[in-house]
Structures are given as C-alpha cells and as structure tokens.
Structure 1
C-alpha cells in the first residue's frame, strides 16, 4: 500500500511542479534500511505548502498546523491515502529535539541537497545520506538508531 500512497503524493506534487524531498524511514530505505515503514515523510518548500494542503484536502487526516511533538517542531499536514499516512512538512523553519543536548536545533531542509534513488518503483529525491544520518543521530529514537546502523552498513 505504501507504493500506492507514494504514487498518489508524487503525482499530486509533479502535476503542480512542486519540488520535494523524501526524508525519514523511506529515505533510510533508499540507503539500506530494511525495517517496515510507518509512514511516508517528505518536505516541500514553504511557499508551496498551502497548495499541497489544498490539493490533498480530501485525504487530510491531521489538519495543517504548527506542532511540537515526538521530537519535532514544525508545520505539517498528514494525509491518509489507502490506509497509509503521508506527512508533508513545510521546509520553512523545522526544528528537531537533539536528544543528547536536550535542546531544539534547526533541521536544514534544502530540496536541492538530494540524491535520486529508485524506491517502490519510482525515482525519488532523497535527503542526502549524511544529512539523514545527522538528523537521525540528533533525534536518537530507537528507529533512528536502527536506520543509522543499516545506512552505515550500505553504500
């Protein structure tokens, strides 16, 4: 079902020429992680965020808002498509909780810093491996540690 949800969100973005960056577990899969996906996480530039929200309105499961939860401080919307959660964040000012320092730090999202990889039958723009490892190391949740180990073991 992740493939169907991914095709839906990528189609929605491509139709509108909106650049995006795949992050989280799906990006980690592109670099060698084999754990099951919980959801699909991606960012779009801040100026495109509201048009994404409007375009996917029929599938909103968590309204677009600024939230601080589970180590994240950002503006995002959650869609549910065919039972799969798709979370789209605004690249404008997201922060993450650095578990080691117990402090909020900026999460730099630059859609031009990407690597295209084939995943779930699609060519996707993934956050660069070193950027992904850096943010997952700061969060240091069990899933992040698992992803880092897998990514470091692959090319």
Structure 2
C-alpha cells in the first residue's frame, strides 16, 4: 500500500511541476520543447514502478500458485470421484433390491465398484442379505451376472440367520 501511495505522490508532484513550468514558459518553439520534456517526465513517473518489477519473483510466485492449483484440482477430483463412487454403488444396490422385489423377495444389497480405464464405475462385487431359497438365490445370481456383469464368484449371499 505504501508503494502505491509513493507512486501516486510522485505522479502528482511531476504533474504539478509540469503545470508550473508550462505556465512560466514563453510562447513559441521553446514552449513546444518544454511540453515535450514535461510529457516525457510525466511518462517516466507513471512507468517508474515497472523499473523495480521483480520478474523472477513473479515467475516463482506464478509457478508456486500453479502447482498448488494442480494439487487442489487433483484433491477435488478425488473427492468428487469418491462421492460419485458412493452414489453409484448405492444405485446398483437399489437396482438389485428392486429386481429382488420384483421376484417377491425382501433383501438388502451392498455393491463394490471399481473405476474403469474409461472413468466409469463398474460393479465388481456384491453382497446380498436376506432369507433366500436356493432357487431364488440362483435367479438373483443370474440377474446380477447378466445385468451388472458381476461373476458368480464375486457374489456373496448371506441368509437372515447368518446376518450380524
């Protein structure tokens, strides 16, 4: 703030000196030269902060800022991906519960997803809890395998008596 204040005072001082000098100059070619000199002095005062500009320090600040920005961007992407994964896992679990309800079954489901190379969250493991008969379980295994692409080996079924 003090640097801006001193710069502004310098510009005002040069402006006042130029105004006084112009008022004292006699008319003619000397006055035109005087105006040119005053204009150059005022330009010098206005541009004086550029002479003391620390470009290396500014470049270092910019590099630090950009690296912190990259770090923050990665952190935010990770947070968003984590939240998105939770939402998608919940949607897949709701899908399984809905399919079971259409079969007349009551159960709860948990799904674990992994991010693919394309950036999509795909289910890799499921856990279904509820009182399911062997035929009902086989039907759910088939539905989850076909619709969600989760192999039977990654599907876990817990009966009501086994649930904690």
Global fold match (TM > 0.5)? no
Structure having the higher Rg: 2
Quick check: which one's helix share is greater? Answer: 2
Q: Which has the higher contact order (CA 8 A, sep 6+)?
A: 1
TM-score, normalization by structure 2: 0.29
